[in-house]
Amino acid sequence: MNYIVFDLEWNQSPLGKKDKNQRIPFEIIEIGAVKLNSDRQQTDSFHRIIRPQVYTWIHDSIHEVTHIDYKDLLDGVTFPQAAREFLEWCGTDYVFCTWGNQDLTELQRNLKYYDMLCLLPGPVYYYDAQKLFSWFHEHKKQRRGLEYAVDTLGLKKDRCFHRAEEDAEYTAEVFRRLDEEEIRPYFSVDVYQNPRKKREEIHISYPFYDKYVSREFRDREKIMKDREVTSTRCPACRLPAKRKLRWFMNNNSRVYESISLCPEHGYVKGKIRIRKTDGGSYYAVKTIKNVDEKKAEEIRNKRDSLRKKRK
């Protein structure tokens, strides 16, 4: 199996929201990628400049960060050509790796715009090197920039940042320095192509927490009435945990939390995020993990504080 470490640069409406195409708010203008073998040694690379069809003038902020000018894109290929060549180059036995969780979503959104989404069936599983670096190198949840990671690891900075080819190479260098055995179980899943039916729902058990992605619901209120969505099983033993704190809405109206209790493994924290699809439907992403009594009390206090504010 190969690892495809890739990075994208994209443009957006130079005139702001009034000229934004809702179907493709970010148009990909550059693809850069590195292919690593199973030993994470580089075996090949890929790079394409893409001639934009939707936003032909570069947004000022994009130009400021990437230093790409619209003239630099005139000799580029179209996105359909670049996407086909990229996916063919990836091969058949691979897993993606990116810095952050947005590149795969935008790749799929651009593919959908050109009626090419069938070339990358989802949901797509991948490794988020940014998250893994934060978790296993710094033991924190805070996400860091790519240049920060390069500096922290003492890697050679002999290329610029914020260009697809160079950022893919830097990401590969960071990814190679993470302990493979440690990070292997912690793959991510991009659900831009989310489950549509009950049989397509996603259940993933990680070493320290569980994740569930529901099917689509037309009415978001029905989500929190679904038994599977609101159920809580202990990640350690997979047995139902008794609810101690009913699901409550966080400050964010799309986030709910709860606390349950497993007789053998203690408190279990649940979090449900409600997400909206491009088609206007809704689905839930639930995470379940064991927590200590202190964390359970913090969540209870949060619930009580929110109740007082709402009164």
Kindly report, residue by residue over 70-125, the tens digit of the pLDDT. Answer: 889 999 999 999 999 999 999 999 999 999 999 999 999 999 999 999 999 999 99
Alpha helices in the chain (DSSP H): 60-66, 79-90, 103-113, 129-136, 146-152, 164-176, 180-183, 220-223, 227-230, 293-310
Q: What's the rounded mean pLDDT across residues 26-33?
A: 98
pLDDT for the residue 209: 96
d(CA 104, CA 246): 34
Which domains are assigned to the chain?
Answer: 2-183 (3.30.420.10), 196-310 (no CATH)
Peptide bond preceding 80 in cis form (omega within 30 of 0): no
Kindly report, residue by residue over 152-178, the tens digit of the pLDDT. Answer: 999 999 999 999 999 999 999 999 999
Least confident residue range of 80-89, 107-116, 134-143, 286-295: 134-143
* Token pair of 211 as six digits: 């994740």
Give me the chain's average pLDDT, please. Answer: 95
d(CA 21, CA 80): 18
* Token pair of 120 as six digits: 């990358």
Q: What is the pTM of this model?
A: 0.92
Check residues 43 and 278 and name the one with the higher pLDDT: 43
Mention every residue, 6+ apart, whose C-beta is less than 8 A from residue 129.
5, 97, 98, 99, 171, 174, 175, 178
